[in-house]
Amino acid sequence: MTYALLGRKAEEIASELGITGFCGSLGYVQGWAGRHGVVNVRLHGSAGSVDMEEAREHMADVRRRLEAFDPEHIYNMDESGLFYMALPNRSFVPTKDRRRVRGSKAMKAKQRVTLVLAVNASGTHMLPVALIGSAKQPLCFRSSSFPLPYFQQKIAG
């Protein structure tokens, strides 16, 4: 749903009500949205395709199975990517400098490590943050019989 589509629909409703000279401009639509607590958000991910009833049943089964264990011994682990070389892409600047500030290529730096975070179910014990980097030649390809991945052998040879 776009602001333009909402503006056109408002104009249609106005014409059906016999209101003349009405314009469903961007300002009108933004004001209407603000008055009614409606915001425009960027949709991402695929959570909308999840069957919530099946998820509830599955979580109930998981909780039932975990009742046999002490919460001190149940850990939740998750991972997160950290772009450690990237600079922030937003900043506060004086209004007079608003048009003159510029970013840099460092804002788009893609060097990344993976952070692993874990805590027990009672929240009393957090494991130290673990850092997973990336190897130039992964361990699984370091045997003498197969020194390089097949696609790298094709490029080298």
Domain identity same for 94 and 30: no
For residues 94 and 146, membership in a common domain is answered with yes
- The total number of structural domains in the chain stands at 2
One domain for residues 25 and 88? no
85 shares its domain with 145? yes
Q: Residue 71 CB: number of other CB atoms within 10 A?
A: 13
Local confidence band at 86 (pLDDT 50, 70, 90 cut-offs): confident
49 in any annotated domain: no
Q: What is the pLDDT of residues 32-83, one digit of tens each?
A: 888 988 887 776 666 677 888 999 999 999 999 999 999 999 999 999 988 8
Question: Are 126 and 118 in contact, with CB atoms under 8 Å apart?
Answer: yes
Q: Is residue 79 part of a domain?
A: yes
Within-domain flag for 114: yes
- Total-model pTM: 0.47
Predicted confidence (pLDDT) at residue 157 exceeds the cutoff of 60: no
The 10 Å CB-count burial string (b at 16+, else e) for 78-104 is eeeeeeeeeeeeeeeeeeeeeeeeeee
- Asked if the structure places residue 43 within a domain, the reply is no
- Determine, yes or no, domain membership for 42: no
Residue tagged 């990344």 (tokens)? 112
Whether 53 is covered by a domain: the verdict is: no
Residues 87 and 151 in one domain: yes
- Higher-confidence residue of 103 and 76: namely 76
Q: What domain range is 117 assigned to? A: 74-156
